[in-house]
Homo-oligomer: A and B are copies of this chain.
């Protein structure tokens, strides 16, 4: 919660602009849902946004929150973190390594780099807590998906495909 009022206003303006460009309706709930995410630095999940928006719009429903969050992320106004519709995966590679994750199919490949193993973190991190492990996550399109040609990075819908093996 360290966002200045100006910063929030700027984000709100960008949001309204983006909705108009996309010819998407500026509803009360969309405005408040976006404001709730734009307001904080704490990366709330859908349930948390729901609880907070509810204080101002007691009738919002959780599914509207979900729909709106994914819409906002399609518009490029917010970024989903973590469980990108993925299940937990398990890694038996105990050696120090980093990951390349395909944003389209979920393929997660290890790669190694002495350089990246030994990064210097800014002092700001010290203030946050005691760092234990540092890993570089590279997101992109894997070879196989690139060959399959351009495809929409569809979100919701059905089960996440498993492009491993």
Interface residues of A (CB under 8 A from B): 1, 11, 34, 37-38, 40-49, 69, 72-73, 76-94, 99-100, 102-103, 107-113, 115-116, 119-122, 124-125, 127-143, 145-146, 162, 164-165
Number of copies: 2
User: Would you call A82 and B83 a contact (CB within 8 A)?
Assistant: yes
User: Would you call A89 and B100 a contact (CB within 8 A)?
Assistant: no
User: Would you call B128 and A146 a contact (CB within 8 A)?
Assistant: no
User: Would you call B77 and A81 a contact (CB within 8 A)?
Assistant: no
Looking at chain A's contact residues, the main secondary structure is mixed
CB of A5 to closest CB in B, whole Å? 15
Residues of chain B within 8 A (CB-CB) of A135 are 136-137, 139
User: Would you call A78 and B90 a contact (CB within 8 A)?
Assistant: yes
